[in-house]
Chains A and B, each alone.
Chain A
Amino acid sequence: MWDALQLSLLVSILATIGVGIVGTACGLLLARGQFPGRTVLDLILTLPMILPPTVTGYYLILLVGRKGLLGGYIYDWTGFTFAFAWQGAALASGVVALPIMVRAAKAAFRDVPVDLEQASYVLGKNKLTTFLRVTLPLARQGLISGLILSFARSIGEFGATLMLAGNIPGRTQTMPLAIYEAFTTGQDTLAQTLAILLTVLSGTVIVLTERSLQPRQR
């Protein structure tokens, strides 16, 4: 049980960090960028939210599985594969949670008035300084809630993880997979305990989200 909890936390934290970086960058690009293929990128980044997780998992196998489009090269060069590894669980959780972060980041960056960024430029600050000192702090609230929701989504991820990483106890078995296995093998007490643990964890995340969305008090 603790193995599953530990792995779930590790997978979700790593997935959230990755999603935070990639999702923020993609959100910024979609909110501010004007480039060919913008709509296609937006669609691709939204798909994991619409598709059944098993389909997302299937695509991930095709892409990063041992014989996948990219996975084949990775395996040939490094001997590493995402398939049936905890890193695969982190990747699957991240991919499924990515649309949430992208949408939150896109909305957060769109809400930052362009006037303020321009005010920063005319005050002698370059784009990077402006992003770090003006855009990012002003988008902070939206980004934090995006991160928390991404964490919640990744900790509850089941289908895509099962497809790519499998369900190997102590290696790739996360909480949702452990609950499923406990239930299907008649270990009702274990299933209930794990379910309650996951519920408490998810509840805590919701409370944190609510708090982060409230206006800051000085």
Chain B
Amino acid sequence: MGLSLVGVKRTFNASFELSLDMEVDIGITILFGRSGCGKTSALRLIAGLLAPEAGRIQFDQVVLFDARSSITMPVHERRVGFMFQYPSLFPHMTVEANIRYGAAQALEAGKWIDRFQLTDLSRRYPRELSGGEMQRVALARCLAAQPRLLLLDEPFSALDQRRRMSFQADLIRLREETKIPILLVTHNLDEAFALADRLVVLDEGGIVESYDAISLFSHPMRRVTADLLGVENLISCEVKQVSHGQMVVSTDLYEAHVEPDARFRIGDRIWLGIRAVDVRLVVTAEPRENEVYATIHRVIRSVASNQILLSLDGSTQDYDLIMALDEHHCIQHMIKPGGRIRVSLKRSKLFLCD
């Protein structure tokens, strides 16, 4: 069953209220949202470092907080591991003493020292560690206390790219080895995508969508989620036709055939979305589904893949669509500003949101 939050509320000021209904099961649940949307506060409410004003927080059969029954379990009895944004290691203790601090048994501390390969560092003080080492020690310290749940607050924010990857690998291994539900807060899309089993999207103090990560990344159901999850192409459209097996929506410039979505009816004004990587360059003569002609407005180079800004035929905008294409294919197909191309919006990759 894991952790459940039902109707948990906390008001911070007249304009900001955090309202949470969510479940956290075994695996990694990512609490995703912009900076300042209430992610860290959500973790602090669960850990007991902040007091909710209403609702119920429960882990399996153990009630951590219940406003109606006036139950508030003290922080130190909750057995909730909390890794702060900055490692918060005790500076007057060695690595080993830090890990032993919360451990119920010395053996448990030793196990995690070995598991995170910290034996060589065990006599060092936190100030003698790198950022990555500090994060590993902080995680080992959390785990040595045998938590029933692990809360990680932006654990990668203080790390460089290489250490970030290494720490991500540690977390993935941890997910495979333990049955501890992990709730991780991030505003970084790559981290969320790399780690999430389940994604909870938070915006302006409320949960917008909560679903399994792959579905939510590929087919967000709300525009705000699509925006937060970095969907490059969100186009206003109207539902024109609904029939068995397909749906037709119309933008100002083209009609697109999409998978049917029971939420919408003919005449609804909604959003049509597709990621830039799913906009495909058509190089063969035969027609493709949802094919459109476009003029290349600009090519923005980046390490992963180039962003091609496309102006569709009949458009008055600088660009209407973004396509991602790696440098090799850009050269091969002579992708340059002013060039004319055909692109296809694959039906299975298109999604509708409100």
> Which residues of chain A have a CB within 8 Å of any CB of chain B?
113, 115-116, 118-126, 133-134, 137-138, 218
Is residue B185 within 8 Å, beta carbon to beta carbon, of the partner chain?
no
Cα–Cα, bound, A126→B74 (Å): 9
Is B49's CB under 8 angstroms from A121's CB?
yes
B50 to chain A, nearest CB (A): 10
> Which residues of chain B have a CB within 8 Å of any CB of chain A?
47-49, 74-82, 84, 86, 88-92, 101-102, 104, 125, 141-142, 145
Determine the chain A residues whose CB is within 8 A of the CB of B92 once the complex forms: 137-138
Residue of B76, B79, B81, B91 with most chain A CB atoms under a 10 A cut-off = B76
Is B76's CB under 8 angstroms from A125's CB?
yes
Determine the chain A residues whose CB is within 8 A of the CB of B102 once the complex forms: 123-125
Can you name 26 A-B pairs with beta carbons within 8 Å? A115-B84, A115-B88, A116-B90, A118-B49, A118-B75, A119-B82, A119-B89, A119-B90, A120-B90, A120-B101, A121-B48, A121-B49, A121-B74, A122-B76, A122-B78, A122-B80, A123-B76, A123-B101, A123-B142, A123-B145, A124-B79, A125-B101, A133-B101, A138-B91, A138-B92, A218-B125
Determine the chain B residues whose CB is within 8 A of the CB of A121 once the complex forms: 48-49, 74-76
Residue of B82, B86, B88, B141 with most chain A CB atoms under a 10 A cut-off = B88
Cα–Cα, bound, A123→B137 (Å): 13
Cα–Cα, bound, A118→B82 (Å): 9
Starting from the known contacts A118-B49, A118-B82, A124-B145, 9 additional A-B residue pairs (CB-CB under 8 Å) come to A113-B88, A115-B86, A116-B91, A118-B75, A121-B48, A121-B76, A122-B49, A126-B76, A218-B125
A48 to chain B, nearest CB (A): 32
Cα–Cα, bound, A122→B147 (Å): 9
Cα–Cα, bound, A164→B25 (Å): 69
Determine the chain B residues whose CB is within 8 A of the CB of A134 once the complex forms: 90
**One of B47, B89, B90, B91 near A122 (C-beta < 8 A):** B47
Is A124's CB under 8 angstroms from B76's CB?
yes
Determine the chain B residues whose CB is within 8 A of the CB of A124 once the complex forms: 76-77, 79, 102, 104, 145
Please give me the residue from chain A that is nearest to B151 by CB atom: A122
Say whether, besides A116-B88, A116-B90, A137-B92, A122 and B101 are in contact (CB < 8 Å): no
Determine the chain A residues whose CB is within 8 A of the CB of B89 once the complex forms: 119
Please give me the residue from chain B that is nearest to A134 by CB atom: B90
Please give me the residue from chain B that is nearest to A118 by CB atom: B49
Determine the chain B residues whose CB is within 8 A of the CB of A126 once the complex forms: 74, 76
Cα–Cα, bound, A73→B80 (Å): 52
